[in-house]
Amino acid sequence: MRWLRILALATATLLLASCATPTRIGGTGPAFERAGRFAVTVQPPDGPAQAAQGNFAWRDTGAALRLDLLSPMGGILARIRVEPGNAVLERANGQRERAASADALLAELWGEAIPVAGLRAWIQGRTWAGSPVGTVQRDDQGRITQLVQDGWSVRLSDYDAQGPGRLRLARDQAGRRLNLQLIAD
CATH number for the domain including 140? Answer: 2.50.20.10
In whole angstroms, what is the distance from residue 26 CA to residue 16 CA? 25
10 domain-assigned: no
- Alpha carbon 113 to its chain centroid, in Å, reads 14
pLDDT tens for residues 88-97? 999 989 999 9
Q: Is residue 106 part of a domain?
A: yes
In a domain, 84, yes or no: yes
For residue range 26-39, list pLDDT tens digits in order.
Answer: 788 899 999 999 99
pTM for the complete prediction? Answer: 0.82
- Number of domains within the chain: 1
Q: Does residue 5 lie within any of the structural domains?
A: no
**Per-residue model confidence as pLDDT tens digits over 135-178:** 999 999 999 999 999 889 999 999 999 999 999 999 998 888 99
pLDDT at residue 11 greater than cutoff 50 = no
Query: What are the pLDDT digits (tens) for 93-119?
Result: 999 999 999 888 888 776 667 788 899
Q: Enter the DSSP assignment of 124.
A: T
User: What is the average per-residue pLDDT within 117-140?
Assistant: 93
> Is residue 4 assigned to a domain?
no
CB 80 within 8 A of CB 88: yes
Buried b (16+ CB within 10 A) or exposed e, 16-29: eeeeeebeebeeee
